[in-house]
């Protein structure tokens, strides 16, 4: 703990130098989606490799079919310590539209705001500022002694384009990347003063259905009433997928869905989340999910069914009295707990087929499926990290959920057998993917201090 105090003081003293390093990384326009920036992505990877090597890491740039990976490895100062894998990504979204930026997007700057100073520039929050908090923590720990844990670092260059090269890379490097736990810094705090650990991610099933009936489009005056209308059939199926209380009616849908532990439910209530304001901000007023559930439960801890698009008949301007030969819809199911995505998809297809009237057929197109992820609430690393965060921020770290999915976390679980601690210091208003992206200076500074505390806490057990 004596080294920790010294390392924290070092982070404080070196903040200006740390900002210069972050500004240098932001200046590299590592846009992964545009082939014109392939050289910039390579340059960002090499910049990170050089930084890690300068800290005493064994580090290298690894080529892939797409943008390169960066892998760095360093041992702790003693034996029998945990081994952690830290993940971040150096690629960024395009800055367009450029005319909405107040200053050039890749010229990072400090700006004054009502909430304090902010670091403005593309990638400052997503994810260059976040990953550099960990690098700066490692710098301070090594400059004041040694790392408390064995550390492997993986920096990816294609996260913003769906990580196409990542699965093959993980498979080819399993032995090298396997660790006791993964640390992922690509998530948010609860608010400016409250740190958070994301412990739950919902899974996803994506299905497309095409309902077919007559062998051609028909005149609704000549055939209406006598011929089955696929849009009507599809609409009835959609309506029947929910009951009056907002529950999904698929047989077996709730298998594997558990209630929140009482202590987690109580903690979520203490977050003082305003569900009414959450809906009001998007022009709504009434929760549309399961009756008896809070808005926070609905978006973090309950499964969902949604229709994401419907196509059928004439959709141009004006009117056309057509009775369509087919209609289609795209469906998504968000999963929680131990719900089995394959069983959900099979139940959905069986439900649709059972609700087809005579003369109708259904074709199904799968667009992907993945299970939910949940870090056990009694996890020892979770307890260590939560205590470390609370020590730094002076408030209990919130254990939160996420309505979305983070593919890398699923890959770590599936391919490497590792749980992940998802700890980030971004804020909801950081404008990621938008003009004038920013990262709070306090997030950058205290984020580095937080990682120094977390690594120390994990080593102490």
Which residue numbers in the chain have pLDDT < 70? none
Q: Give me the residue label for tokens 């408390």.
A: 148
- The pLDDT value recorded for residue 394 is 97
| C-alpha to C-alpha distance for 7 and 5, rounded to whole angstroms | 5
The string of DSSP codes covering 247-300 is -B-STTTTTT-PPPPHHHHHHHHHTT--HHHHHHTTT--S--S-TT--HHHHHH
| C-alpha to C-alpha distance for 419 and 184, rounded to whole angstroms | 10
- The pLDDT value recorded for residue 223 is 96
CATH code reported for the domain at 203-257+303-370: 3.30.70.360
Tell me the Ramachandran region of residue 378: left when phi exceeds 0, alpha when psi lies from -120 to 50, beta otherwise.
alpha
- CATH says 2-201+373-460 is which class? alpha beta
Nearest CA to 16 out of 452, 457, 448 is that of 448
Q: How far is CA 107 from CA 89, 233, 260, 401, 410, in A?
A: 19, 55, 45, 34, 34
| C-alpha to C-alpha distance for 351 and 237, rounded to whole angstroms | 8
Count the alpha carbons within 13 Å of 173 in the hemisphere toward its beta carbon.
22
Instruction: Indicate the DSSP class of residue 224.
Output: B
β-strands 326-335, 203-212 pairing: antiparallel
Q: Give me the residue label for tokens 């040694």.
A: 146
Instruction: Indicate the DSSP class of residue 396.
Output: P
Give me the sign of the Cα torsion angle 7, 12, 14, 15.
positive
Q: Note whether 452 and 15 are within 8 A (CB).
A: no
420 sits in which H/E element: strand 420-422
Backbone Cα Rg of the chain: 25
- The pLDDT value recorded for residue 282 is 93
- The pLDDT value recorded for residue 405 is 78
Instruction: Indicate the DSSP class of residue 163.
Output: -
Give me the sign of the Cα torsion angle 29, 152, 159, 171.
positive
- The pLDDT value recorded for residue 151 is 98
Torsion of CA 249, 255, 259, 264, to 10 degrees: -120
* Six-digit token string for 440: 């709070």
- The pLDDT value recorded for residue 406 is 84
Q: Domain residues of the chain, as ranges?
A: 2-201+373-460, 203-257+303-370
- The pLDDT value recorded for residue 255 is 98
Strand order in the sheet with 118-120: 109-111, 118-120, 438-440
What is the CA angle 50-451-421, rounded to 5? 105
- Number of CB atoms found within 10 A of residue 166's CB: 23
- Ranges of beta strands (E only) in 35-149 are 58-62, 69-74, 83-89, 109-111, 118-120
- The pLDDT value recorded for residue 272 is 87
């Amino acid at each position: 703990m004596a080294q920790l105090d010294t390392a924290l003081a070092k982070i404080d003293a070196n903040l200006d130098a740390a900002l210069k390093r972050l500004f240098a990384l932001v200046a590299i326009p590592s846009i992964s989606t545009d082939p014109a920036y392939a050289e910039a992505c390579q340059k960002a990877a090499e910049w990170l490799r050089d930084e890690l090597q300068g800290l005493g890491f064994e580090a290298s740039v690894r080529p892939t079919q797409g943008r390169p990976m960066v892998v760095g490895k360093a041992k702790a100062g003693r034996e029998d310590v945990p081994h952690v894998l830290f993940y971040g990504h150096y690629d960024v979204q395009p800055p367009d539209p450029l005319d909405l930026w107040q200053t050039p997007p890749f010229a990072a700057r400090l700006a004054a705001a009502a909430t304090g100073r902010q670091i403005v520039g593309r990638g400052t929050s997503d994810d260059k500022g976040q990953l550099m908090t960990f690098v700066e923590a490692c710098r301070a720990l090594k400059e004041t002694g040694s790392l408390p844990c064995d550390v492997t670092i993986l920096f990816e260059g294609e996260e913003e384009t769906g990580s196409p090269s990542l699965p093959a890379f993980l498979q080819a490097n399993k032995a090298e990347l396997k660790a006791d736990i993964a640390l992922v810094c690509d998530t948010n705090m609860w608010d400016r003063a409250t740190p958070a650990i994301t412990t739950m991610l919902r899974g996803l099933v994506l299905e497309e259905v095409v309902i077919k009936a007559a062998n051609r489009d028909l005149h609704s005056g000549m055939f209406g009433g006598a011929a089955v209308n696929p849009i009507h059939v599809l609409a009835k199926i959609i309506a029947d997928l929910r009951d009056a209380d907002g529950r999904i009616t698929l047989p077996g849908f709730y298998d594997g869905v558990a209630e929140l532990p009482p202590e987690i439910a109580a903690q979520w209530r203490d977050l003082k989340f305003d569900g009414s304001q959450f809906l009001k901000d998007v022009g709504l007023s009434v929760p549309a999910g399961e009756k008896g559930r809070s808005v926070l439960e609905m978006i973090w801890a309950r499964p969902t069914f949604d229709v994401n698009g419907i196509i059928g008949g004439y959709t141009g301007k004006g009117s056309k009295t057509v009775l369509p030969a087919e209609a289609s819809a795209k469906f998504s199911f968000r999963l929680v707990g131990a719900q089995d995505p394959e069983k959900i998809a099979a139940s959905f297809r069986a439900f649709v087929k059972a609700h087809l009237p005579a003369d109708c057929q259904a074709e199904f197109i799968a667009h992907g499926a993945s299970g939910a992820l949940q870090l056990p609430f009694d996890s020892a690393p979770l307890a260590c990290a939560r205590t470390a965060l609370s020590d730094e921020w002076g408030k209990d770290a919130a254990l939160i959920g996420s309505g979305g999915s983070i593919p890398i976390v699923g890959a770590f679980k599936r391919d490497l057998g590792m749980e992940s601690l998802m700890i980030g210091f971004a804020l909801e208003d950081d404008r990621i993917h938008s003009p004038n992206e920013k990262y709070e200076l306090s997030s950058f500074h205290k984020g580095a201090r937080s990682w120094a505390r977390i690594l120390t806490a994990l080593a102490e057990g």
